[in-house]
Chain A
Amino acid sequence: MKIEILGNSDTRSGFGAGLSQLGKDNPDVVALCADLTGSLKMNDFKDRFPDRFFQVGIAEANMMGIAAGMTIGGKIPFTGTFANFSTSRVYDQVRQSIAYSNKNVKICASHAGLTLGEDGATHQVLEDIGMMKMLPGMTVINPCDYNQTKAATIAIADHKGPVYLRFGRPKVPIFIPEDTPFEIGKALMLQEGTDVSIFATGHLVWEAVEAAQALANEGLSVELINIHTIKPLDNESILRSVAKTKCVVTAEEHQIAGGMGESIAQLLATNQPLPIEFVAVNDKFGESGKPSDLMKKYGLHSSDIIKAVHKVLKRK
């Protein structure tokens, strides 16, 4: 895939666009929001399909229960709130009423991770992938740009079962071509290489693209794979890649514990143990600040990926 910047937008707007498209195409799709309609970019859906939009107020636990109940009778509810309030705040509701009950609810979560910025650590959830991937039957998706988030939003409506869709607040480069098919559970090869495999998800995919370009200038051949679906993990693509490169760097806007990297480490440990380095937050809460400053301070910048590649190559 030739990687070039096609534009600049927030992934949450990709969600909003995908949701509106679903509103038009699928009469069973309904949307619920806990007083964050604008932040989640759900206004267009709300305006165009008011009978299928449900404002639940600041009551996320209730929203998750209502969404679970709405599936009984055939609706496909999409809940919208911040990632923190979609997971840690309502974990028991998601666990019992949605996951254990196997309800066809799409939990759509914006403002995930440090890039939420100035609001600080109370809102910067960095544990959500871990919480959600631990739930049996839960699909976990973390798309990387506007186009991929829009495509993922549309794709999950056709998937039967609970889904956690994680996206974010800041404007980031658009680089996945609009016509790229989104296949749940199927990793996306961005660049083939032979020296090291970089597996990245969410906002860290663009950082990894920049890192791969810099590493190419050093004469290194990087294989860059976008793991947009953390669960189910595309074991086959990952194992095929590492068979060639023999070392791995993972990159994500999440705690190391519970993250995508942990899932990949588990896969490698049980199949083909190889050196692995994690670019992720290491057991810390975030803080207020500009997203770009936070990404640097907490080690989630392209330069951190480059460092991790150098380190893992020495361990090869």
Chain B
Amino acid sequence: MKEDYLIEFATQIRRDIVRMVNAQNSGHPGGSLGCVEYFTVLFNSFLNHNTDFSMDGKGEDLFFLSNGHISPVYYATLARTGYFPIEELSTFRKIDSRLQGHPTTHEGLPGVRIASGSLGQGLSVAIGAATTKKLNNDPSLVFTLHGDGELQEGQIWEAALYASAKKIDNLISTIDYNGRQIDGDVDDVISLGNLEEKWKAFGWVTLSCNGNNIKEVYKTLEKAKELTGKDKPVMIIMTTEMGNGVDFMMGSHKWHGVAPNDEQLQDALSQNKETLGDY
């Protein structure tokens, strides 16, 4: 995919995110905005996926969102890559919607293969899916995204241990390392210490990148792909800015789970002009 299109896509889903969250006065814009470039690159240029959705996803790359609260960026990406009509984004967090506050399979939303929201569970699920791919002789890959605060959950480390011990090498995980969580900076809540060294010590191959740079995200994912099939799981530590692309949401944890009001929405939209057409 051409870079120009990726930039347009990223700008458009930024608009989608703030509009969705504003419309229901509810949701998580900060982390969603920080991961716009990752979703843009992964779904447009990387995943070998079929938007004619099947739960089993045989022969396709699979993606699991472990930090389910950033559902706005996930939903906007799924809609704009063809999983469901973009008009459905207007139902986000409303009653009778398939776009639940946190992603789920329960309402049958195409593109979602597991419920997430209660944190720390997605890595285990992805390991399971990756194991089944091996059993099925399916060479496709499994991708996951996690929050950095989420790494405070113990299950993540159970899964980290298992993935290296059992050589789950068809898995590319990414941490959204924005350094912020609900109560403040991750360093102030429970510091993660030297994150890269931790994952290395757990037996993973690590890469790092600036997650808000489209070219860098692409190159890093490409490198990660080259590292698969070599007996080790791969972890990308992706530094991002929470609220990226909307100036007043950047540099703070305060927009983790707070919706912009109508005036703030207009400000955010003025910084991200319509590119692919609003829903």
Footprint of B on A, CB under 8 Å?
A: 30, 51-52, 54, 56-57, 59, 61-75, 77, 92-93, 95-97, 100-103
The interface residues of chain A lying within 8 Å CB-to-CB of B131 are: 54, 66, 69-70
A-B contact pairs, 12 of them (CB 8 A): A51-B135, A57-B161, A59-B158, A61-B120, A61-B158, A65-B123, A72-B55, A72-B129, A73-B129, A96-B117, A96-B121, A101-B114
CB-CB under 8 A from A54, the residues of chain B are 131, 166
Q: Contacts A71-B132, A72-B113 known; list 10 others, CB within 8 Å.
A: A52-B135, A62-B124, A64-B124, A65-B123, A69-B129, A70-B128, A95-B118, A97-B124, A100-B104, A100-B105
B84 within 8 A of partner (CB): no
Q: Which single residue of chain B is at the shortest CB-CB distance from A58?
A: B158
**B117 close to A75 (CB less than 8 A):** no
- Which residues of the partner chain A approach B128 to less than 8 Å between Cβ atoms? 65-72, 77
CB within 8 Å for A73 and B132 given contacts A96-B121, A100-B104: yes
- Contacts A61-B154, A68-B114 given; indicate if A73 touches B56 (C-beta within 8 A): yes
Contact B57–A72 (Cβ < 8 Å) = yes
The residues of B that contact A69 with a CB separation of less than 8 Å are 64, 114, 124-132
Alpha-carbon distance between A168 and B50 when the two chains are bound, in angstroms: 45
Measured between beta carbons, the chain A residues less than 8 angstroms from B122 are: 65
**Are B121 and A57 touching (Cβ within 8 A)?**
no
Contacts of A64 in B (CB 8 A): 124
Residue B274 at the chain A interface, CB threshold 8 Å:
no
Collect the chain B residues with CB atoms within 8 Å of residue A92's CB.
Answer: 118, 121
Encode B125-157 as 1/0 by CB contact (under 8 A) with A: 111111111011010000000000000001100
A97 touches B115 (CB 8 A): yes
Question: Is the Cβ of A65 less than 8 Å from the Cβ of B136?
Answer: no
User: Are A62's CB and B158's CB within 8 A?
Assistant: yes
Residues of chain B within 8 A of A57, CB atoms compared: 161-162, 165
Closest residue of B by beta carbon distance from A70: B128
User: Main secondary structure on chain A at its contact with chain B?
Assistant: helix
Cβ of B86 under 8 Å from chain A: no
Least distance between A43 CB and chain B CB atoms (Å): 20
Distance in Å: Cβ of B16 to nearest Cβ of chain A: 25
**Which residue of B is nearest A100, CB measured?**
B115
Minimum CB distance partner of A68 in chain B: B125
Whole-angstrom distance between the Cβ of A208 and the nearest chain B Cβ:
39
Residue B62, interface by CB 8 Å: yes
Cα–Cα, bound, A13→B110 (Å): 41
Contact residues in A for B104 (Cβ distance below 8 Å): 100-101
A61 touches B115 (CB 8 A): no
Kindly state the separation between the CA atoms of A62 and B154 in the bound complex, as whole angstroms: 10
Question: Is B159 part of the contact surface with A, judged by Cβ < 8 Å?
Answer: yes
In whole angstroms, what is the CA distance A70 to B168 when docked? 13
- Verify A65–B132 contact, CB threshold 8 A: no
Closest chain B residue to A51, Cβ basis: B135
Taking A56-B162, A59-B161 as contacts, is the C-beta distance between A102 and B105 under 8 angstroms?
A: yes
A51, A59, A74, A102: which contacts B106 (Cβ < 8 A)? A102
- Known A68-B128, A93-B155; judge A73-B121 contact (CB<8 A): no
Chain A residue contacts of B162, Cβ below 8 A: 56-57, 59, 62, 66
Q: CB-CB < 8 A to A68: which residues of B?
A: 114, 124-125, 128
A247→B120 CA distance, assembly (Å): 48
How far does the alpha carbon of A56 sit from the alpha carbon of B168 in the complex, in Å? 13
Residues of B close to A103: CB separation below 8 A: 114
Give 1 or 0 for each of B18-31: 1 = CB within 8 Å of chain A CB.
00000000000000
> CB of B116 within 8 A of chain A?
yes
Which one, B55, B135, B159, B165, contacts A65 given CB within 8 A? B159
Q: Which residues of A contact B116 (CB under 8 A)?
A: 96
> When the two chains form their complex, are residues B132 and A62 in contact, meaning their CB atoms are under 8 A apart?
no
Contact residues in A for B56 (Cβ distance below 8 Å) = 72-74
Residues of A within 8 A of B135 (CB): 30, 51-52, 73, 75
Contacts of A70 in B (CB 8 A): 128-129, 131-132
Within 8 A of A (CB), among B5-59: 55-58
Nearest CB of chain B from residue A266's CB, rounded to whole Å: 25
Query: Chain A residues with Cβ under 8 A from B132's Cβ?
Result: 69-75
The answer for the CA separation of A75 and B57 in the assembled complex, in Å, is: 13
The contact of A97 among B114, B133, B154, B161, by CB within 8 Å, is: B114
**CA separation between A69 and B106, bound complex, in Å?**
15
**Chain A residues in 8 Å Cβ range of B115:** 96-97, 100-101
